[in-house]
């Protein structure tokens, strides 16, 4: 029996990222033919169960349930999760800073060679990879893996959810990657004073289930100033990186209105219970955040997913 030709392969940094970010697209494509999700960083050195961090067998069970529900195939590449890969990443704050030298100079090229060799044995029409919105190290590495393929037909970049739901997160990341058009009705990419952007980011983060779940209230109140300072420094760091980035790449967006598949997406997301509860209070809260993001993009009809193609500029500056 010959191997299937997949409608698409979705490269997912972790177990849940593809469905959280692209669940609507996966649902639609899976109705047309085989879809494969390639999860990269899926190996853990022991069980970890803390607020916002669940690593271990529970994550595999969640992935299997979501794959069965949406009808996609799932393959785990077995790379070490960032929390176990380097001593520098044992501090949660460092997980959202640029990858350390060992990852960039040694690990990334070797991982790229293995991933490309694996994909060479897979027949597919389109390849979806993350943009790295939110700056999680594993998401950034998953994006950087495919830099040599920038400009290839069929290579599509997706916005990392739930990070892209935080105001200005997409804009800050895209500024590092190249030039992109700004639509008049799209507030998510509109430049605003950085002080205002920081305040809106902190306010939105404070409204997440992740923060609301902190108990007792005094812990939540004391955590917010710390988070605010951290976000201020993180945004400032990446602003400096964006200022030195070459605008030699051009990004074009395509928005997919989810309509009838959003309910299936949220049902699949909820199957990743360990993650869903950290970002969303419930299904209604999830719909509220996705709808608000769609409205910011300029779509008032309901939730959307936004995808990007990146191509080398014909007139680099």
**Could you read off the pLDDT of 24-34 as tens digits, one per residue?**
999 999 999 99
295 φ/ψ angles, rounded to the nearest 5 degrees: -65, -35
* pLDDT category of residue 1 using cuts at 50, 70 and 90: low
**pLDDT at residue 214, rounded to an integer:** 67
Exposed e or buried b per residue across 191-229, where buried means at least 16 C-beta atoms within 10 angstroms of its C-beta: eeeeeebbeebbebbeebbbeeebeeeeeeeeeeeeebe
Q: How does DSSP classify residue 248?
A: -
Which is higher by pLDDT, 243 or 234? 234
Cα-based angle 269, 204, 279 (whole degrees, multiple of 5)? 20
**Is 141 in contact with 295 (CB distance < 8 Å)?**
no
Q: Which one, of 61, 69, 62, 54, lies nearest residue 23 by Cα?
A: 69
**pLDDT at residue 149, rounded to an integer:** 97
Question: Which residue, chain included where needed, has tokens 């004073």?
Answer: 193
Least confident of 36-45, 52-61, 255-264, 278-287: 52-61
**pLDDT at residue 92, rounded to an integer:** 76
Least confident of 17-21, 220-224, 280-284: 220-224
- Region 201-220 average pLDDT: 74
**Model-wide pTM > 0.85:** yes
**Is 193 in contact with 238 (CB distance < 8 Å)?**
no
- Region 270-297 average pLDDT: 93
SS3 at position 81: coil
CA 143 to chain centre: 10
Residues near 177 by beta carbon (within 8 Å), at least 6 away in sequence = 131, 245, 249, 251, 310
* pLDDT above 90: percentage of residues in the chain: 61
Q: Which residues pair with 124 in a beta bridge?
A: 6
pLDDT (tens digit per residue) in 101-148: 999 999 999 999 999 999 999 999 999 999 999 999 999 999 999 999
**pLDDT at residue 314, rounded to an integer:** 66
Question: Which residue, chain included where needed, has tokens 């990341």?
Answer: 173
Residue 240 has pLDDT above 70, yes or no: yes
Residue 52 has pLDDT above 60, yes or no: no
The DSSP bridge pattern shows strands 5-12 and 73-80 to be: unpaired
**Is 137 in contact with 97 (CB distance < 8 Å)?**
yes
- Region 220-238 average pLDDT: 81
**pLDDT at residue 246, rounded to an integer:** 64
Question: Mind listing the domains of the chain with CATH numbers?
Answer: 5-188+246-312 (3.40.50.10320)
C-alpha 198/C-alpha 128 separation (Å) is 30
pLDDT (tens digit per residue) in 163-188: 999 999 999 999 999 889 888 889 89
């Amino acid at each position: 029996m010959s191997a299937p030709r997949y409608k698409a392969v979705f490269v997912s940094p972790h177990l849940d990222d593809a469905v959280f970010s692209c669940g609507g697209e996966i649902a639609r494509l899976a109705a047309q033919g085989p879809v494969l999700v390639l999860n990269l960083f899926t190996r853990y050195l022991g069980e970890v169960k803390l607020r916002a961090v669940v690593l271990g067998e529970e994550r595999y069970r969640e992935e299997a349930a979501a794959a069965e529900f949406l009808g996609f195939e799932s393959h785990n590449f077995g790379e070490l999760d960032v929390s176990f890969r380097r001593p520098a990443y044992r501090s949660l704050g460092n997980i959202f800073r640029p990858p350390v030298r060992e990852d960039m100079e040694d690990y990334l090229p070797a991982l790229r060679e293995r991933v490309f060799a694996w994909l060479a044995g897979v027949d597919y029409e389109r390849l979806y990879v993350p943009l790295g919105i939110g700056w999680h190290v594993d998401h950034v590495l998953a994006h950087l893996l495919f830099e040599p393929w920038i400009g290839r037909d069929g290579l599509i970049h997706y916005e990392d959810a739930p990070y892209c739901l935080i105001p200005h997160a997409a804009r800050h990341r895209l500024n590092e990657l190249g030039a992109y058009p700004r639509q008049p009705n799209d507030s998510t990419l509109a430049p605003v004073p950085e002080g205002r952007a920081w305040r809106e980011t902190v306010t939105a983060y404070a409204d997440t289930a992740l923060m609301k779940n902190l108990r007792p209230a005094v812990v939540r109140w004391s955590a917010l100033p710390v988070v605010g300072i951290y976000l201020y420094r993180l945004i400032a760091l990446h602003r400096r990186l964006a200022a030195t980035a070459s605008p030699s790449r051009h990004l074009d967006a395509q928005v997919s209105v989810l309509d009838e598949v959003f309910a299936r997406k949220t049902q699949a997301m909820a199957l990743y219970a360990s993650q869903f509860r950290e970002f969303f209070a419930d299904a209604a809260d999830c719909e509220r955040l996705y709808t608000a993001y769609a409205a910011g993009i300029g779509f008032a009809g309901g939730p959307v997913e936004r995808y990007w193609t990146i191509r080398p500029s014909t007139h680099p500056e």
